[in-house]
A and B are shown apart, each in its own frame.
Chain A
């Protein structure tokens, strides 16, 4: 579905992503992990067309993403940045329905069918009861579900999430992880999400990509990553595997 070939990017001369190659197919849950500053966010932003690669090519459905009309691309690929809190107070339903924006003409307002799509997205995220609440009165976990619903409202084929599990408590990490799995199953979309949490990622995803200093250092199913030698090489600490989970120590 999306193909990354020799893609690099640098900020003010400092390389952030170097020569990344990867191909991601349909209906997959892909975790993108690696240390801070390893280039996860930058790679996601390039996939989302927020940044243009300095070199290399990204092709979506066989076509260079730069050649897609921005709105046509946005109908198929939805992106959730790390912080998308609106600058002004908004109701959840208005936040979610704004995810339909790529489908609207310049002077067009959302129709009933857009609100139906928004309601379906809220239901998928188990957040129907939050529809009329204001975002600034919600907990972090509730807000996260609203933003996931906003992404789903466009009914995209590819969903890119930057740190959807960050700053959530354990219960919500589990709930959102399970929700991502369910989104892939129910909507047949592919979800690529950046995360720091190896264990939760391994428990739910089909495939793990690990970035290191801007390069793609590992690309395989989670079972292959969950080995002491691989963890040592990629993350630099000694670990054991207990019941399929990585734990520190030898």
Chain B
């Protein structure tokens, strides 16, 4: 496991350096060192925070995916299917409809609140007495997603036309305009969530054998479900708030890691977080440099980069 982590850390560092080096503006690290003001601004204030934010968003979404999948014993569970991202998008859409989207920070805060509200709603719907039923949880998420989509469509129909481009870009996922304060805030969320998930990783592993089995081995199943679900939702909310909707990472990355590394379940968490970070840094780089000017949606590139890799592994495996 240590070797696999070291390999992924090295790949991530290379990806971060590459992503900070390349872009539409032609500036160089040499310029930064020489004190060139443009180079410094582009590299240190625009590109570097954006690249680091991409890494953090990728790590957050992949770690959340691992948590959801093991809690629900379902490898299709991810923040999107469960309605967490949908709740965030719904909050953002309502803010846009009200014409408030241009106020700084409002979309992020409301998206975060939307993710938390959606999670709470899904848990309440899936909970009977003291027990959270995994199947009902998935189903509640799917149904709430349909409702969120309806609200989003209505909100955009009512939104001021001038705000629609921005709203659309947010819906497609973008790291445009990332700042150092975004990076620091998300870093805080990622560190805390990661610590919480590592602390319950042993219990999540036991849950893979079913709730009765885990319970008989001394795992406080309902508490672990609440903690795991809560932590994964909060970090998803924080990621979506700064990046918009970037699909696929929470689903794809843990699967990829499982195809490469099947030894111990507990290794899945750090390896997936690193894998998610690498994928998003590369996808963001691709979205920035694919066109000579302008940007393409990053969510499209997570799929374009991830799917062929995933399919080739799937075919090579059993």
Contacts and interface: CB of A to CB of B under 8 A. Distances in A.
Interface stretch (A25-33, A94-102, A207-215, A237-245): A94-102
A48 interface: yes
Nearest to B254: A88
Interface residues of A, number: 36
What is the interface residue range for chain B against chain A?
Answer: 20 to 34
A185 B145 CA distance: 56
Contact of B264 (A81, A87, A94): A94
A86 B75 CA distance: 12
A91 B266 CA distance: 14
Contact of A81 (B73, B208, B212): B212
Which of B69, B215, B265 has most chain A Cβ within 10 Å?
Answer: B215
B318 interface: yes
Interface string A73-85: 1100111110111
Contacts of A102: 217-218
B31 interface: no
B213 A87 contact: no
A198 to B, nearest CB: 26
A91 B262 contact: yes
Interface stretch (B33-41, B86-94, B152-160, B199-207): B199-207
Ranked 9 nearest A-B pairs via Cβ: A87-B73, A71-B218, A70-B218, A79-B216, A74-B218, A48-B216, A86-B208, A81-B212, A84-B209
Interface of B: 69-70, 73-75, 198-199, 202, 205-206, 208-210, 212-213, 215-220, 258, 262-266, 318
16 contacts: A50-B216, A74-B217, A77-B216, A78-B216, A79-B212, A80-B213, A81-B216, A84-B213, A86-B209, A87-B73, A87-B75, A88-B69, A88-B258, A90-B262, A101-B217, A102-B217
Given A84-B209, A98-B209, 17 more contacts: A45-B212, A48-B216, A49-B215, A69-B218, A70-B218, A73-B218, A74-B216, A81-B210, A81-B212, A85-B209, A87-B69, A87-B70, A87-B208, A88-B69, A90-B265, A106-B199, A107-B198
